[in-house]
Structure 1
Amino acid sequence: MLRAACRPRLNAPASLLLSPGATLQPRHAQSRSFTGGQLLTGVQTGFEAGLQTAQHVIVSFHAASGLSWAITIPLVALGVNLLFRLPFTAHSDLLAHRRSKAVPVLQAWQARLLREAVREKVPSDKIKDVVTKRTERETRRLYAALGLQSWKLWTVLMGVPGWMMSLGAIRRLCTGAGAADQAGAVATGSAALGPAAGDYAASVSALADAASHTAQSTFAAEGMLWFTDLTAADPYYILPFCFAALTAVNAWPQNKSTRETLFPRLNRLLTRSPAGESQPETSPEPKSVAVSAVGGWRGNMTKFLVFGSPMLGILTASFPAAMHLYTITSASSTLVAKHILSRFFVTNGGVEVCKHREIPVIRPKIPRKPMPEGSGVKPLAS
């Protein structure tokens, strides 16, 4: 008994327990394969369903309000900005406002890091890069401790999909093209997602398709001013370049230090110094903290929107007038919202660097002597 109990248990393979002639069938683990194609199909189906839903909502709002399309489209743009873009813009401005409060501290740290680099005898040709890298590292550490990381500024892009879906819906209402292709794409993607999604997408596609034919006929007759046909492009190219100008104005920084950092020459041309006042040449200094606050993708995007706005007007010159009416209203409302938010979330540029113009004495006022009568010279106004 003890010998049998101590004997190790043998695990015989399954093939020894089978009868002669029997074969084993391989067993595969049940798993769901998920490929990039299915992900792309799901995104495409969701975007198509969003476009069809936005199209149906716009047509329903136009039918319920009884207004012309020249008034309905700006109201739709205002609603989209209030629902999708304003909350994320306010959150981004709040983060920028809180980050600006830490700029004076970072400027003091930058001066300390510069003194440390001089004490460490860093070569003069490398001291600028060394101080810049150390300042950026300390900036990231401080922003992370305060919960003001740079990735949180990307939340402003979360309102773009809703804006794009509404713009795409207006484009489809203008052209009326691709209804059959859209229905086929929705049906194909819905079959991959399931029967419930297929029924919903098919019903939404049928409603939007029926409404688009009715709306397209009214688009050509419910314009305003010189663009009476909203399905045609502006013959005078006023609308596309008006949209380009509003885009540049929206992208132009309101903060003085940000303008001096991103657009030094353009800002110098727009804000000329008084006659006789020369701009002193300063020695090259390490990268300022203000650059790190507006640099990166945000600074590059701002430069692209300001300098590339004329090209934007050229590229969109052939778009229907309804799309320009939507984008112009959206850009105008964004400009107004930006101006209002700047009153609540003031962004400070930090302590201004000394320009070597100050003198250690107070200049006395020059006494104004009365001019003799008959000289023809008028005294200076006080």
Structure 2
Amino acid sequence: YSMLEAIHSTGMSWVFAIPLAAVIVRCGIVLPFISIPARKVQQRFVLITPVVAGWKAAVRRHVWGTNTDLTPPVMQQIIEGHDKNTKHLLYMRWKCQWWRRAMPFLSVPFFLTLAETIRRMVGSRPGLLGMLAGDADGQTMKSTVGTAVSKVSSGELDTYLDPSLTTEGALWFTDLTAADPTLILPFIVSGITFAHIAYGSRLPSGVKISAASGFLRRGLLVLSLSLWALIMNVPSGILLYWASSTAAAFANALFLDWRLPLGKMIAPAK
């Protein structure tokens, strides 16, 4: 909230201050402290993956060659045990454990925190379902001024509420506290989200994924295409932030592929 107010206090309208805040968070905090370290972990993981696969093949040959008296299920258990220990040691040595590979998820709290701040500023309903419901009943900040004034004396007024958001929009969405009646902003958010997911989930040529991973990828793409229908009642200020943040994340992904490419997948050792 303080960052948004500081940007707005320079005389910048909210229609520019909100996207700028999203870019600052994505490029000034998430990129250097989360995205770049996470990409370096991914690079090490790609390099070590063929070694892990080759080691598993070597262990399989060794177990099958030296334990001919054991049943196949028992030998398979021995192989899986060796494989698990080998992965643990290699991933720990190369610093690419599962929790390091999950670093990109650390950016989610930053996105949600700023989204929640903007939600309170535009006077939207609390919670995710509240934001999705948005102004479906036609209620905007302009229609809640009377309620807000009645709460001043009791101290219940949310100090985050900012009436200037009703007039500092632009183009067709001049009121950032109301939903976009043209549905252009929801379609923009849906399109950018689809492009980001499609780009981020692409695979190198020749690489196959499991059926579950393929199903998840297709599901996310379908969900992103239909996202506009779920967010059509969300206030324009939140959608403006959502579009700006997702576009900045997409730009960060392009930058990482340029400066820190993952490289081609190497065939496992035989």
The two structures have a TM-score, normalised by structure 1, of 0.52
Describe the shift of the 1:104–1:325 C-alpha distance in structure 2 as closer, same or farther (beyond 3 A): same
Which one has more relative contact order, counting CA pairs under 8 Å at least 6 apart? Answer: 2
Question: Percent same amino acid among aligned pairs?
Answer: 23
Tell me the distance in 2 between the aligned counterparts of 1:211 and 1:79: 20
Tell me the equivalent position of 1:101. Answer: 47
Q: Render the CA deviation track for 1:322-366: whole Å, top value 9, x for unaligned.
A: 11110111111111111111223222353248xxxxxxxxxxxxx
Tell me the equivalent position of 1:308. Answer: 223
AA at the equivalent of 2:194: A
Structure 2 residue corresponding to 1:226, chosen from 163, 168, 172: 172
AA at the equivalent of 2:258: R
AA at the equivalent of 2:252: A
- The 5 A counterparts of 1:351-362 are 351-352=266-267
Tell me the distance in 1 between the aligned counterparts of 2:229 and 2:75: 45
**Does the CA contact (< 8 Å) of 1:255 and 1:348 recur in 2?**
no
Tell me the distance in 2 between the aligned counterparts of 1:84 and 1:209: 28
**Does the CA contact (< 8 Å) of 1:262 and 1:303 recur in 2?**
no
- Tell me the secondary structure at the aligned position of residue 261 of structure 1: coil
Q: Tell me by how many angstroms 1:170 deviates.
A: 0.9
**Does the CA contact (< 8 Å) of 2:124 and 2:177 recur in 1?**
no
Describe the shift of the 1:147–1:57 C-alpha distance in structure 2 as closer, same or farther (beyond 3 A): closer
| Range that drifts further, 136-145 or 93-102 | 136-145
Tell me the distance in 1 between the aligned counterparts of 2:30 and 2:59: 40
Q: Render the CA deviation track for 1:277-336: whole Å, top value 9, x for unaligned.
A: xxxxxxxxxxxxxxxxxxxxxx96x66643432454332221111111101111111111
Q: Superposition RMSD on alpha carbons, in Å?
A: 3.6
Question: Structure 2 regions of 5+ residues with no counterpart?
Answer: 127-154
Q: Tell me by how many angstroms 1:60 deviates.
A: 3.5
Tell me the equivalent position of 2:89. Answer: 141
- Tell me the secondary structure at the aligned position of residue 318 of structure 1: coil
Tell me the equivalent position of 1:69. Answer: 14
**Does the CA contact (< 8 Å) of 1:117 and 1:131 recur in 2?**
yes
Tell me the equivalent position of 2:263. Answer: 348
- Tell me the secondary structure at the aligned position of residue 178 of structure 2: coil
Question: Structure 1 regions of 5+ residues with no counterpart?
Answer: 1-53, 179-205, 267-298, 354-382
**Does the CA contact (< 8 Å) of 1:106 and 1:139 recur in 2?**
yes
Tell me the equivalent position of 1:240. Answer: 186
Tell me the distance in 2 between the aligned counterparts of 1:164 and 1:265: 26
- The 5 A counterparts of 1:1-382 are 54=1, 56-62=2-8, 64-86=9-31, 87-116=33-62, 118-119=64-65, 120=67, 134-175=82-123, 209=158, 212=161, 215-216=162-163, 218-251=164-197, 252-256=200-204, 260-261=208-209, 305-352=220-267
Tell me the distance in 2 between the aligned counterparts of 1:333 and 1:263: 31
Q: Tell me by how many angstroms 1:130 deviates.
A: 7.4
Q: How many equivalent pairs are there? A: 234
Describe the shift of the 1:258–1:250 C-alpha distance in structure 2 as closer, same or farther (beyond 3 A): farther
Tell me the distance in 1 between the aligned counterparts of 2:114 and 2:206: 33
**Does the CA contact (< 8 Å) of 1:78 and 1:333 recur in 2?**
yes
AA at the equivalent of 2:98: S
Q: Tell me by how many angstroms 1:209 deviates.
A: 4.6
Greater Rg over alpha carbons, structure: 1
Tell me the equivalent position of 1:290. Answer: none
- Tell me the secondary structure at the aligned position of residue 106 of structure 1: helix
